Structure 1
Amino acid sequence: MLATLLQAELDQAAQTHPDAQAWLRQLPAAVARPDAEALQRLYAAAARKLRPLPPPTPALRDALREAGAVAPADWSPGDIGRLLLLLLARPPEGGPQTETLPWRLFRGGDAGEQQSLLRALPLLPRPEAWLELAVDACRSHIQGNFEAIACENSYPARFFPEANFNQLVLKALFTGASLLRVDGLRRRLTPELLRMVADMASERRAADRAVPADIQLVLKGSRYENV
């Protein structure tokens, strides 16, 4: 179970870090109630309290990758702690409070908190339940938020409808996020996406604007290193 492994790794790493120990001690009570406000405070504090901890061990990286993470080596200790919180905060049967916790954390968090949550989405139970949140994040004007869902994230290729995935690809091209970072892109190439990308290239040439190199990679159907 991923939560058990995350808990064990954090407990071990926190042995010489009092702030991290204090953060971990507060988590069980906040989850048991469940106390949405306490969980939100803990979620926000994770990056600061867990910052001194080491990066994920190879065993934890393998477990995260198996669960659906694309680039677990890039996850910070705060990301790991926030994922643990989300996994432990399972909704009680018939109770909606923690069912809406990801939305609450996303709406109330700063950019770093939002990006941690977006990276965690494919690892959550019933990840398809958070499709609306993920699609909404693609509309963000914060590039880091967009890249957190669009890049090194298995969620869009697994769950986005065709229209939403196509818009993600176009926005990546428009904002300069490399399509090599879009997990599962080759599997989601469709005639409609190729048409949209070709139209984008034609419009840019007509306006005497630079055409992103990734456009040609899509049009040629090239293999991507990460898919």
Structure 2
Amino acid sequence: MIRNLYVHDCVFEHTRTGLRFKTRRPRGGGGENLFYERIRMNLSGPVFEWDMLGSPAYVGNLAKRLPVLPVTPLTPQFKNITARDIIAEQASQFIKATAIPETPLENVLIENISIRSAKLIRAADVNGFVLKNATIETSDSLISLLDARNMLFENVRFNTGGALLYVDVSGPASAAIKFKNCSPLKPTGWKEANWVRPVSANGKNDQ
């Protein structure tokens, strides 16, 4: 477990991933209280990547997201991560977060950033994720969220090459996803800037 880390005033020139957080279910560890600021990047891979599942070639069935496994001393976790004043001049993707359902990625704040990336955001099993004061230039228009809760997009400008922004939300744990003072004001197809679980024909929230 890596704790109380401060990374600042860096230039990542022609590297693959910018800030990468990697572990596996049987390895334990992870990180908490990690702080990054004033970093400029020119990348071939994602700006932020959390990878907690891995490949079946190395960990077998543990690379499958489900079923949810019991928490043990070898269950990895990432939490309490702050990144601010980040510039990514080029990247393949902005955020690629693959956490695990038994210990979701928790309490992440990314603020004061300028990003140019081919793809936007794909996140699974996150709880408490704030993106604030950001400009994102991309040809992509899709944010994909699976079992994501307590997410806030505040003062974020999405320059997608058009006026549309789509957010695909799935998973029974997804809840409390909010857009505040963003451009566009809300994703296409949303009635409000807060995500509300669709109601099925029987009058119950769809799971």
Question: Do they fold alike, i.e. is TM over 0.5?
Answer: no
User: In proportion to residue count, which structure has more helix?
Assistant: 1
The structure that is strand-richer by fraction is 2
TM-score range for the pair, normalised by the shorter chain length:
0.3 to 0.5
Q: TM-score, normalised by structure 1?
A: 0.34
Question: TM-score under structure 2 normalisation?
Answer: 0.36
Based on CA coordinates, which of the two structures has the bigger radius of gyration?
1
